[in-house]
Amino acid sequence: MQQKILVVLLMVTLSQASQAQSKAKVRINHTAIYVKDLKATKAFYEGVLGLDTIPEPFHDGKHVWYSMGYPGVSMHVIQGATEKKEYYKNQHTCFSLESVEAFTKILEKNKIPYEDVAGKKNAITTRIDGVKQIWLQDPDGYWIEVNDAK
């Protein structure tokens, strides 16, 4: 009887372990963008958005890596695009900060256009949950949302 119970417990344990392996969850490690002008892109992400660089292994002058605010999550910027492309606003990267209004002043000072979700220039969207958000494009045309979500 004890052997049967042990066999059943072993089968249940193995089944649970197998299910756990088949349901392995992925997590984001990095996102990458391919750009035409690395110097302009660096000036934008560092000078306007305030991202911090992190070490990158290539050291070839064609890569810059940025911390995305969580350990082990980064954005890789790679120079090599031959032309700017048009991107859809719904495919964007979103950054959060304390005050969208304060950030728009930085954009205006740097003559960087921004818009609300509907495309109205120099306007801020307030979502139904109270989060304020704007959209802008980096030097290569990638869309960026900036909001004040906590």
Residue 124 belongs to a domain with what CATH number? 3.10.180.10
Residue 119 C-alpha from the chain's centroid: 21
Q: Count structural domains, the chain.
A: 1
Tell me which residue range forms the domain holding 76: 30-147
What pLDDT score does 22 carry? Answer: 74
2 has a pLDDT exceeding 70: no
* 10 located within any domain: no
Report the percentage of the chain scoring pLDDT > 90.
83
DSSP state of 149: -
The three-state secondary structure class of 145 is strand
pTM assigned to the model: 0.83
Within-domain flag for 4 = no
Q: Is 24 a member of any domain?
A: no
CA distance 37 to 80: 8
Distance CA 95, CA 75 (A): 12
